[in-house]
Amino acid sequence: MWYVYILKSEVKKWYYVGSTNRLNDRVFEHNKGYVTSTKSYRPFKLVFNEKFDNESDARRYERKLKDKRLEKEQIINLIEKNS
């Protein structure tokens, strides 16, 4: 099982989109500072994840969220509205 996930920084208004086949471990790595691109924004809260049957579908959706941004912003707006 693969996942596309969104992390929300708990100290800054900043979100990160990623994909992985080991979601809990990856969130742990982000929060421990093992991921260079997110290190200065920690700690994080997992605010969204979607399951995929394979890596290629997950990577495609991750790229869509990063490139198109509209869908990512819609997801973030829903998260913030329900917080």
Which domains are present in the chain? 2-81 (3.40.1440)
Alpha carbon distance 8, 51 (integer Å):
18
What pLDDT sits at residue 28? Answer: 98
pLDDT tens by residue, 2-45: 999 999 999 998 999 999 999 999 999 999 999 999 999 999 99
For residue 13, give both structure tokens: 């208004």
Where does 1-83 show beta strands of DSSP type E?
2-9, 15-20, 44-52
For the cut 90, the answer to whether the pLDDT of residue 61 exceeds it is yes
Task: Write down the mean pLDDT value for the chain.
Answer: 93
